[in-house]
């Protein structure tokens, strides 16, 4: 088994790495962008995957491939296997009302929340597949009637790589199944009753593979240059966050924070979690364990937006942020630019508080953007700790981890050392490592050496979080009607 490939089909792009199966050494890589928007035709992911494969020099010398992908996205297929409508992504908030309905149907207030947390480890919010299915049933009955199977982005890409061999061949893995809202990590079974309740009837769902179970073989006809391909085995794949935790080799005491389109905070746990507040999602990981996780809708794009607002690039934004004092003299940016999932405020907008003649500078705004985005994640870290996750250090990954300001400010806000591996594609790396494990077999995954990380330490500045906590409730929900003038 010379080489293996790992894919990260994420929100903004598709990244592919090719690594040596035994040592993990990076051999080559490729990437291609995804279209913008919160509903996307899966065909765009497929063509981006093809482009990424070509950019990486093809798969002719690769023995196994695994696909990790953005979680929760609803891919509906008809009985011929054709896509019924563009996929609704994890960050599409139109299903917020459907999520609230599903919780209310299970009982009033905390009773409903507790029911879902106990049943499937998660409380429905707009992001979850179960909420999207309910939305589809209520809002697009014509499309809903055509649905024969529902799967997730990584499931669909893996199935396409296998040559789309019929709906019965669809497969997924524990980590991604645990983000649907109708698969229980604790019992490792589908809650078909909950899917049926949400959608009105049962549809085909992918078989859930174990950590090293193969999803079949790559159909050589589906990729350019395919006919020359040797036999390539398909790994089970994963949700992107589980793949990242596996890619960086997170262990006890490690909390992985990813700053991509989403902001996520997660840790590997030996036992499943069931948080009735819904803040911590009780996901599964790729090794057979669990991955309690908090996810925000606003991370790297908050920095993109601040840079655009100030008319600077991302490097200059970081320099500006670092030139302002910690706490930005009281300027606070509440980063709910895309609505928010944690806290569950799908209709909220962002806000800036504390503008004065002193704080109305580009440097203060840049600092407030970095701090606000990180404070929302620090709230997630607290919630994870409340669920019993130990935190000795944070491992920072995702595109936003490239920002020097994020790296330096993060330990002030998280209050623990922040370890930043060299810039890389850790989701794709986790998928590649999974492909290697599936192909090589063995009770334990191959040990791959991760390049030396850099550790950032700083004295915590609790005042930043205290000020943020004051500000975060003072946002406007765009669905709400302003009070009439008096």
Ligand X SMILES: Nc1ncnc2c1ncn2[C@@H]1O[C@H](COP(=O)(O)OP(=O)(O)O)[C@@H](O)[C@H]1O
Ligand Y SMILES: O=C(CO)[C@@H](O)[C@H](O)COP(=O)(O)O
Closer to ligand X by Cβ: residue 268 or 396: 396
Region near ligand X per CB under 6 A, out of 8-16, 48-56, 214-222, 463-471: 8-16
Distance spanning both ends of the chain, measured CA to CA: 75
Binding mask 1-20 for ligand Y (x = CB under 6 A): ---------xx---------
We find the least distance from the C-beta atom of residue 476 to ligand Y, in angstroms, to be: 24
Interaction partner, residue 72 (ligand Y, ligand X, none; CB < 5-8 Å by kind): ligand Y
Number of residues that bind ligand Y (CB under 6 A): 17
Query: Which has the closest alpha carbon to 240: 60, 7, 470?
Result: 7
Sign of the four-CA dihedral 402, 408, 409, 410? positive
**Catalytic-residue membership of 240:** yes
Binding mask 244-283 for ligand Y (x = CB under 6 A): --------------x-xxx-x-------------------
Contact 443, 15 (CB under 8 A): no
Among 58, 86, 112, 260, binds ligand X (CB under 6 A): 260
Number of residues that bind ligand X (CB under 6 A): 16
3-state secondary structure of 205: coil
70 is in an annotated binding site: no
- At 39, phi and psi to the nearest 5? -135, 130
Residue 180: other Cβ atoms inside 10 A = 27
Region near ligand X per CB under 6 A, out of 121-129, 180-188, 215-223, 295-303: 295-303
Alpha helices in 343-399 (DSSP H): 362-386
Q: Which residues contact 28 (CB under 8 A, 6 or more apart)?
A: 17, 18, 56, 57
We find the least distance from the C-beta atom of residue 84 to ligand Y, in angstroms, to be: 22
- At 5, phi and psi to the nearest 5? -120, 145
Residue 309: other Cβ atoms inside 10 A = 13
CA–CA distance, 179 with 73 (Å, rounded to integer): 9
Contact 479, 347 (CB under 8 A): yes
We find the least distance from the C-beta atom of residue 343 to ligand Y, in angstroms, to be: 15
Among 131, 261, 264, 342, binds ligand X (CB under 6 A): 261
Interaction residues for ligand Y, span 117-136 (CB under 6 A): 127
Give me the catalytic one of 92, 101, 240, 429. 240
Q: Would you tell me which residues interact with ligand Y (CB under 6 A)? A: 10-11, 70-72, 90, 127, 179, 239-241, 258, 260-262, 264, 295
Q: Residues forming the annotated binding site for substrate?
A: 71-72
């Amino acid at each position: 088994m010379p080489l293996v490939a790992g894919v990260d089909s994420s929100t903004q792009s598709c990244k592919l790495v090719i690594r040596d199966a035994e040592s993990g050494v990076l051999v080559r890589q490729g990437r291609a962008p995804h279209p913008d928007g919160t509903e996307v035709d899966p065909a765009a992911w497929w063509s981006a995957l093809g482009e990424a494969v070509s950019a990486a020099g093809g798969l002719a010398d690769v023995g196994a491939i695994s696909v990790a992908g953005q979680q929760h996205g609803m891919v509906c297929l008809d009985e011929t296997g054709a896509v019924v409508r563009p996929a609704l992504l994890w960050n599409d908030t139109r299903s917020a009302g459907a999520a609230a309905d599903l919780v209310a149907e299970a009982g009033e207030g905390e009773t409903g929340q507790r029911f879902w947390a106990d049943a499937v480890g998660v409380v429905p919010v707009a992001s979850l597949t179960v909420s999207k299915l309910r939305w589809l049933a209520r809002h697009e009955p014509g499309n809903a009637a055509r649905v024969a199977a529902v799967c997730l982005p990584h499931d669909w890409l893996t199935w396409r790589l296998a040559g789309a061999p019929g709906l019965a061949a669809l497969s997924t893995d524990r980590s991604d199944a645990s983000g649907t809202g109708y698969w229980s990590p604790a019992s490792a079974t589908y809650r078909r009753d909950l899917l049926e309740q949400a959608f009105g009837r049962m549809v085909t769902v992918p078989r859930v593979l174990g950590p090293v179970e193969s999803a079949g073989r790559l159909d050589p006809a589906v990729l350019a240059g395919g006919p020359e391909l040797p036999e390539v085995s398909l790994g089970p794949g994963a949700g992107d966050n589980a793949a990242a935790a596996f890619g960086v080799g997170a262990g006890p005491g490690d909390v992985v924070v990813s700053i991509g389109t989403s902001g996520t905070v997660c840790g590997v746990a030996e036992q499943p979690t069931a948080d009735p507040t819904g803040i911590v999602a009780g996901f599964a990981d790729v090794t057979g364990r669990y991955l309690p996780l908090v996810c925000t809708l606003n991370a790297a794009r908050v920095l993109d937006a601040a840079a655009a607002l100030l008319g600077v690039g991302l490097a200059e934004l970081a320099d500006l942020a670092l030139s302002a004092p910690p706490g930005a003299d009281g300027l606070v940016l509440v980063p709910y630019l895309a609505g928010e999932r944690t806290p569950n405020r799908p209709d909220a907008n962002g806000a800036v508080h504390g503008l004065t003649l002193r704080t109305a500078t580009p440097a203060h705004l840049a600092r407030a953007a970095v701090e606000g985005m990180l404070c929302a994640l620090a709230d997630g870290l607290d919630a994870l700790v409340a669920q019993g996750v130990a935190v000795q250090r944070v491992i920072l990954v995702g595109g936003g981890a490239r920002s020097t300001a994020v790296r330096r400010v993060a330990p002030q806000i998280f209050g623990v050392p922040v370890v930043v591996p060299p810039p890389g594609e850790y989701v794709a790396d986790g998928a590649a490592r999974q492909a290697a494990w599936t192909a090589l077999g063995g009770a334990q995954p191959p040990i791959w050496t991760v390049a030396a990380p850099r550790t950032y330490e700083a004295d915590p500045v609790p005042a930043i979080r205290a000020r943020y906590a004051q500000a975060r409730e003072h946002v406007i929900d765009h669905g709400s009607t302003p009070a009439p003038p008096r």
